[in-house]
């Protein structure tokens, strides 16, 4: 079956984690561009407010309160989409959670909870979406992370889940292609995005957490995701900073380790600024949601690297970028040897 995706304005999208950060940006942008959205999250009050706000402007939106770690709840999402819009065309697995702290500091129960949401939530959504899209075609977009390419200190469980999501996504794509299902499967890999994630994450460090620069606005991720809904792509990096970090990890993994060991913890700490206390620690229960983090930070509103990836044959451009990174690293190594 040939993979043919509808224009975005003709689609119904399912978006998990829709009340905060990247999910909220995806939902707002999709509705603004004429798509219908099934917004999914744990936060019932935030979902009600989101529906009221977007519907008041003529947006097509329905909501479903669900924790994606619950397989039965995810099945209910599909039923909601069918009841409201007759089905869906793209399913976006975006919901996620995390912790800050060493592998030893984070209790095993919290490791499992991060996997329940970030990995099993994607698995549940992918299986439900694939089953419903087999007869009509469509797209499954999983929101991963550059931390699926390059692990970072203090976020071990989160990094592990994003590595697992990459493997899951690649396997799903191959299985659906073998079956001729006509379903596009895309992995979107954001870099550091200015969302409430550091405030929502459970923190075991002795300082408040933050995300390191360069930061990008959540709309950059929304741009990548909505593009993938209408244009088949294997992978899209949201943010040039993340793409360069990924390339560096592949070209010089040990150098990347040393850089991370030397400054990774400090780059993820914000002494004296814990952010909005109403958002703190949503690992087990929803907390206050928002589009952006509560701190005053600079976040880029667009990504040239993402726009390059949208062209029909971006591999040549990415190859040039990779070769350039290799040359720069080679010069640095030679300079250090002298």
d(CA 202, CA 158): 11
- Identified catalytic residue from 119, 158, 216, 237: 158
Closest CA to 141 of 60, 234, 8: 234
The CA distance from 17 to 4, in Å, is: 26
**Which domains does the chain possess?**
8-312 (3.40.50.720)
**DSSP strand pairing (235-238 vs 61-65):** unpaired
Q: In sequence order, what DSSP letters do the residues of 269-323 get, joined into one string?
A: B-TT----GGGS--SSS-----SS-SS---EES--HHHHHHTSS-THHHHHHHHH
In 165-183, which positions are buried (b, 16+ CB within 10 angstroms) versus exposed (e)?
bbebbeebbeebeeeebbb
Percent of all residues in the chain with a pLDDT value above 70, rounded to a whole number: 92
> In Å, how far are 151, 229, 253 from 27, measured between CA atoms?
29, 13, 36
Lowest model confidence (mean pLDDT) among 131-135, 174-178, 191-195, 330-334 = 330-334
Q: Which tens digit of pLDDT belongs to each residue from 114-123?
A: 999 999 999 9
- Whether the pLDDT of residue 323 is over 60: the answer is no
Read off the pLDDT band of 146 (50, 70, 90). Answer: very high
Active site residue 237: no
pTM: 0.90
Torsion of CA 149, 67, 31, 313, to 10 degrees: 20
């Amino acid at each position: 079956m040939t993979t043919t995706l509808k224009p975005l304005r003709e689609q119904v999208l399912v978006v998990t984690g829709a009340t905060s950060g990247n999910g909220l940006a995806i939902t707002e942008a999709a509705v603004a561009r004429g798509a219908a959205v099934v917004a999914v999250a744990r936060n019932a009050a935030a979902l009600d407010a989101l529906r009221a706000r977007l519907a008041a402007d003529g947006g097509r939106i329905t909501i479903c309160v669900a924790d994606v770690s619950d397989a039965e709840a995810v099945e209910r999402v599909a039923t909601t989409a069918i009841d409201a819009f007759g089905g869906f065309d793209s399913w976006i697995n975006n919901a996620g959670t995390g912790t800050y702290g060493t592998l030893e500091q984070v209790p095993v129960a919290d490791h499992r909870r991060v996997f329940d949401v970030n990995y099993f939530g994607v698995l549940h959504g992918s299986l439900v979406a694939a089953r419903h899209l087999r007869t009509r075609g469509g797209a499954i977009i999983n929101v991963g992370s550059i931390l699926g390419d390059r692990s970072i200190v203090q976020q071990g469980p989160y990094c592990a889940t994003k590595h697992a999501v990459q493997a899951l996504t690649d396997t799903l794509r191959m299985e659906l292609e073998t079956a001729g299902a006509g379903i596009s499967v895309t992995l979107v890999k954001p870099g550091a995005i200015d969302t409430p994630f550091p405030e929502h994450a459970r923190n075991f460090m002795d300082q408040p957490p933050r995300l390191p620069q360069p930061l990008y606005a959540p709309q950059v991720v929304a741009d990548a995701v909505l593009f993938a809904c209408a244009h088949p792509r294997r992978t899209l990096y949201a943010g040039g900073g993340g793409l360069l970090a990924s390339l560096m990890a592949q070209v010089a993994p040990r150098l990347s380790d040393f850089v991370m060991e030397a400054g990774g913890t400090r780059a993820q700490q914000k002494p004296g600024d814990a952010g909005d206390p109403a958002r703190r620690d949503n690992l087990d229960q929803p907390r206050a949601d928002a589009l952006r983090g509560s701190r005053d930070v600079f976040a880029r509103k667009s990504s040239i690297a993402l726009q390059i990836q949208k062209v029909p044959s971006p591999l040549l451009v990415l190859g040039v970028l990779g070769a350039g990174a290799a040359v720069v690293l080679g010069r640095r190594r030679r300079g250090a040897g002298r």
